[in-house]
Amino acid sequence: MAELNKDEEKIGGFSIEGYNENATPQLLTLLQSRDSVLESLNHALSLTTETIYIADYGSSEGKNSMILFNEAINTFRESSLKPIHIIHNDLPTNNWEKTFKTLLNSPNTYLNCPNTTFSAIGKSFYERILPDNFIHLAISSRSFQYLSQPLSTPDNIVLSASNDPEFKARAAEIAHQDMVNFLLLRHKELASRGRLIFQVADEKSHMGQIGALNGASESIFRKGIITEEEWKDLTLSLYGRSTEEVERALNETSHLYKAISIEKVIHRKSGLSLMNAEELKEHIVKFKSLAGTVMAGPFSKSLKTRAEDEKQEILKLYMEEIGEVQVIFDNDSYLHSVVLEKID
Ligand SMILES: C[S@@+](CC[C@H](N)C(=O)[O-])C[C@H]1O[C@@H](n2cnc3c(N)ncnc32)[C@H](O)[C@@H]1O
């Protein structure tokens, strides 16, 4: 079970401990951008005579982007030995020790590719991170769906799934400003004609799983395990964007970027109704493990007045509750997958 991390209280509780072990579905969609990464690396050859700099914004513990970069760079190395330096970025509370150990020790590390090095920066990507005109290829996968500030939701752990129109409008505006800000900041950090590749969650993504997490939160509130205030504070600060919302932010920054491709990626996984008993059992165990991982930060934030052992006990009860919630999971993951090129 994921441990609550005290430090996570300090920065909205978005850090995801144990991500490497539980993020295979995320890897499968990320790998769909392999061709775009390879093409952008080839494009980067015309942008610099020296090192190609890649930035990975919101890399978590690093395993997923490491595999993506390893595959793309291996192919790239068949035609170019130009040095590549990869900068991983996440919040200061990210498990950086795990990132470094993964990159240094995994058989799938891109560090096995010649002339390839890395570094890491622990700082919010809603701020400037790198010098002007520095990066030739920027990547961000499923990261800026986490907003710049934690919000208390009236009814749903995922902000975009709230049924309260006033709250939804406020969260939508913050999500819009965050995306525009992210695009403005990366525009400054990208070299002339550098590329930005991102994947960000759609509003319809993982509704069954979100339903299960919500059901468990409501259930521990109804049983008197947490207070109403703690329940409302139990938010992932995660906002899935509609196609119109993505287009609105892209239109607002269209003087800064040329769109290379904008598409919707759908990764379909069979619903629980299609699984046999054994698969169902395994699926619930995996889902609970991911839930403990993803919810550890929000619990730490919402239970801020509780003692540490009490927090751990409540998280345990919450995870037990998930198993009792009868939801036919709609596990489909919907993402907006976008490739942009900087215009000076
Ligand atoms: C769902 S994980 C995605 C990890 C990885 N990119 C992947 O595709 O598997 C989202 C990551 O974004 C990070 N994140 C959220 N807000 C951030 C911020 N303001 N600055 C930097 N990283 C942030 C989280 O800490 C988390 O590690």
pLDDT at position 268: 67
pLDDT at position 2: 30
* Residue 121 CA neighbour count, 13 Å, CB half: 16
pLDDT at position 7: 30
Quote helix, strand, coil % in the chain, to nearest 5: 50, 20, 35
The residues lining ligand 1, judged by C-beta closer than 6 Å to any ligand atom, are 14-16, 23, 26, 30, 58-60, 64-65, 89-91, 94, 124-126, 141-143, 146
The DSSP output letter for 47 is T
DSSP 296-324: HHHHHHHTTTS-HHHHHHHHHHHHHHHHH
Which residue positions in the chain have pLDDT lower than 50? 1-16, 270, 324-328
19 CA distance to ligand 1 middle (Å): 10
Pocket test for ligand 1, best of 30, 31, 94, 143 (most atoms within 8 A of CB): 143
Tens of pLDDT, residues 15-49: 445 555 555 666 777 788 899 999 999 999 999 99
Dig out the tokens for 11 from the structure: 């920065």
Dig out the tokens for 91 from the structure: 């919040």
- C-alpha 324/C-alpha 331 separation (Å) is 18
248 CA distance to ligand 1 middle (Å): 23
CATH for 9-205+238-270+330-342 is: 3.40.50.150
Ranges of each domain in the chain: 9-205+238-270+330-342
Query: What residue's CA is closest to ligand 1, atom 20?
Result: 124
How far is Cα of residue 92 from the mean position of the Cα atoms in its chain? 15
Predicted TM-score (pTM) of the model is 0.87
pLDDT at position 270: 47
CA distance to 115, 156, 253, 308, per residue, from 329 (Å): 44, 17, 36, 32
* Residue 268 CA neighbour count, 13 Å, CB half: 2
Helix (H), strand (E), coil (C) string for 73-96: HHHHCCCCCCCEEEEEEECCCCCH
- Burial of residue 78 (CB within 10 Å: 0-12, 13-18, 19+) is exposed
Q: Which of 262, 214, 264 has its CA nearest to residue 236? A: 214
- C-alpha 54/C-alpha 129 separation (Å) is 13
Which ligand 1 atom minimizes the distance to the CA of 30? 8
Q: Is 224 helix (H, G, I), strand (E, B) or coil?
A: coil
Q: Does an H or E element contain 278, and which?
A: helix 277-302
Tens of pLDDT, residues 301-344: 899 999 989 998 998 899 888 864 444 455 677 899 999 999 99
Q: Is 10 helix (H, G, I), strand (E, B) or coil?
A: helix
Biggest distance spanned by C-alpha atoms of the chain: 64
How far is Cα of residue 224 from the mean position of the Cα atoms in its chain? 32
